[in-house]
Amino acid sequence: MTVSIRNADVLDVAADALIYSTNVLFNCSGGVGACLVTRYGQHVQKDLHAILQRRGVRFAERGEVEEFVSAGLPYQAVFHTVPSDGFYETSEEIVAGVLRKALEGCVARPEVRTVVFSALATGYGRLEFADFLRIASELGSEEAFSSLDRITLAIADPHAFSLAREQTEKEGLKFVFEETGRASIAASSPMG
């Protein structure tokens, strides 16, 4: 399995499964959720709200992972994660827990071989980007997920991508870096 970081929009990376973070209201008002609605239509938002309505609740719980694919999305599985509470508070343990649940969901689906994900809880959520990179590197190297062919963290911002590369080299994190169609392996982080 390869765990990579690609300098690209998460929705532009071809994959069998998508993992991203949303809020406790399942509102697609920012980040990847807003991009899903913009690209695929308002029904994505309606589908998420319908999930809460069917449950008879107004809010999802921090730490939840909801698997649901709206019509027209190009994925076999989409994992809508809730790593932050209503005030966008979270912790490394909670974020690691939701990423683990989502990756376990990917492994449980034989048709899922490739996964793309965004940096969970680092936009509106209050997790530091550097902490998320450590979490993703650690989880990505676990044997439990080795049946997946590729796990890709998509980072659209060139500066954040550069920071991720610097941190990987400094801390020996385990990522392959991909830029515009070419891959490079950080010297301190060989991947197989």
Domain-wise residue ranges, the chain: 2-185
Q: What is the pLDDT along the chain (192 residues), one digit of tens a residue?
A: 999 999 999 999 999 999 999 999 999 999 999 999 999 999 999 999 999 999 999 999 999 999 999 999 999 999 999 999 999 999 999 999 999 999 999 999 999 999 999 999 999 899 999 999 999 999 999 999 999 999 999 999 999 999 999 999 999 999 999 976 544 444 333 332
pLDDT at 120: 98
The encoded tokens of residue 69 equal 């694919």
Residue 180 CA: distances (Å) to CA of 7, 141, 183, 189: 7, 24, 8, 20
The pLDDT value given to residue 179: 77
Q: How far apart are CA 172 and CA 185, in angstroms?
A: 11
Q: Which amino acid is at 94?
A: I
Kindly report whether the global pTM for this prediction surpasses the value 0.85.
Answer: yes
pLDDT for residue 191: 32
What is the structure's pLDDT at 180? 61
Give, in words, the CATH class of 2-185.
Answer: alpha beta
